[in-house]
Amino acid sequence: MRRCAVLTAAVLAALTLAACQRVDGDAGRPPEPGDRAVARVDGRPIWTSDVRREAVAQGLIGQGDALEPSSALFSRVLDEVVDQKLLAREAVRRNLDDDPATQRRLEATRERILADLLVEDVIDGAVTDEAIEALHREQLRQLQTSEELKVRLILTATQAEAEAVRGLVAAGAGFAAVAAERSIDPATRASGGDLGWTTLDVLPEPYAAALTTALAGTGPGAVTPPIETEDGWAVLTIEDRRAEAPPTLEQARPQIVRYLTYERVRQLLEQLRGRAEIEPLTGDAAPAAPAAKAPAAKDAA
């Protein structure tokens, strides 16, 4: 069923491209530098770029990923490209592309392809290494890093047990050792209650409030009073604290790319909408339909 759906969409795209393709004597010329023909259908070549583009369209590979002609995936996608060309040509032979409803679908597909090409062209010019690095520098300049805390947890079933383990730690027992022996939290018990490096804003509110109070008092090494939670009674300690490290360029790159892409497309659409005359024809903004004429006196009779 998935293959049928893919082929249906691909056939529509093939018909659309065929409809807008200018027929000339360049059918055998590689469409891209270094491209090579990997098959022919009724004398018309299929290029490696055709197969790669289809694989990208199906989400089988990413844009820019390699697809070796010797691979099984390449052979599979090539078969699908051959199938879609055969189906598209048979559809044309049967004059299915002359149907008005089909023409509308072809035009919609053509517009979608052209819109994608425009977006790709705009992004290529806007999402550059220089733009990414500049935005990262600006983020670092404006960034107000918070503090990270190295926190350990002991979770007990009752308040009395929590007071008891807190007393053991106050008497000199190692917090990690007590957590490994007494904590009922399955996620952290084996690691001595280690919650790792974290920030107050991502911790449950009762934890954050207790640790804030501890930091205002003795700071690192402080042990909080028992905290009631949904899972039991918690005792926390702060082992260490440090300034949160800002994200590196490579860590921030995916988010920056998404932002630059969105922002550039938004600006483009804003410009295009500003130049276009757009008249809504649905909802409250739609013009009222003309009222039906009253029947003439002789018809009413």
The answer, yes or no, to whether residue 295 has pLDDT greater than 50, is: no
Q: Decide: 197 and 149 in contact? Cβ < 8 Å.
A: yes
Determine the pLDDT at residue 228. 93
Residue 301 domain flag: no
Identify whether 280 is part of a domain: no
Percent of the chain whose pLDDT exceeds 90: 52
Domain that holds residue 191: 147-243
Indicate whether 179 pLDDT > 80. yes
How many Å apart are CA 231 and CA 60, to the nearest integer?
44
Higher pLDDT, 291 or 249: 249
Tell me if 276 is assigned to some domain: no
| Mean pLDDT computed over every residue of the chain | 84
Out of 203, 226, 243, a domain closes at 243
254 in the same domain as 238: no
Residues with Cβ within 8 Å of residue 1, at least 6 apart in sequence: none
For residue 285, is it within any domain? no
Number of structural domains (the chain) is 3
The single-letter code of the amino acid at 151 is V
Contact criterion met (CB below 8 Å) for 207 and 163? no
Distance in angstroms (rounded) separating the CA atoms of residues 283 and 287: 9
Mean pLDDT of the region 107-131: 89
Same domain? For 229 and 253 the reply is: no
pLDDT at 194 over 90: yes
pLDDT of residue 150: 92
pLDDT tens digits, residue range 227-258? 999 889 999 999 998 887 788 899 899 999 99
- Together in a domain, 133 and 258: yes
pLDDT tens digits for range 30-56: 888 889 999 999 889 999 999 999 999
* 171 and 203 co-located in one domain: yes
Same domain, residue pair 175 and 239? yes
290 pLDDT band (50/70/90 cuts)?
very low
Within this chain, do residues 92 and 161 fall inside the same structural domain, yes or no?
no
Same domain, 77 and 15: yes
Q: Is the pLDDT assigned to residue 25 strictly greater than 50? A: no
On whether both 183 and 253 belong to a single domain, the answer is no
Nearest by Cα to 15 from 98, 80, 118, 115: 98
Look at residue 262 and tell me if it is in a domain.
yes
Whether residues 208 and 232 share a domain: the answer is yes
User: Is residue 16 very low, low, confident or very high in pLDDT (cuts 50, 70, 90)?
Assistant: low
Please give the pLDDT value at position 256. Answer: 92
Whole-number pLDDT of residue 22: 40
CATH number at 170 reads 3.10.50.40
Cβ atoms of residues 102 and 12 within 8 Å: no
Per-residue pLDDT at 27? 59
Here the tokens at position 25 are 């004597």
Q: Tell me, yes or no, whether 237 and 259 share the same domain.
A: no
Which of 299 and 118 is assigned the larger pLDDT? 118
Is residue 180 a part of any domain in this protein? yes
Q: Which two tokens stand for residue 155?
A: 């979770």
What is the average per-residue pLDDT within 284-290? 53
pTM, 2 dp = 0.49
Do residues 72 and 157 both lie within one domain? no
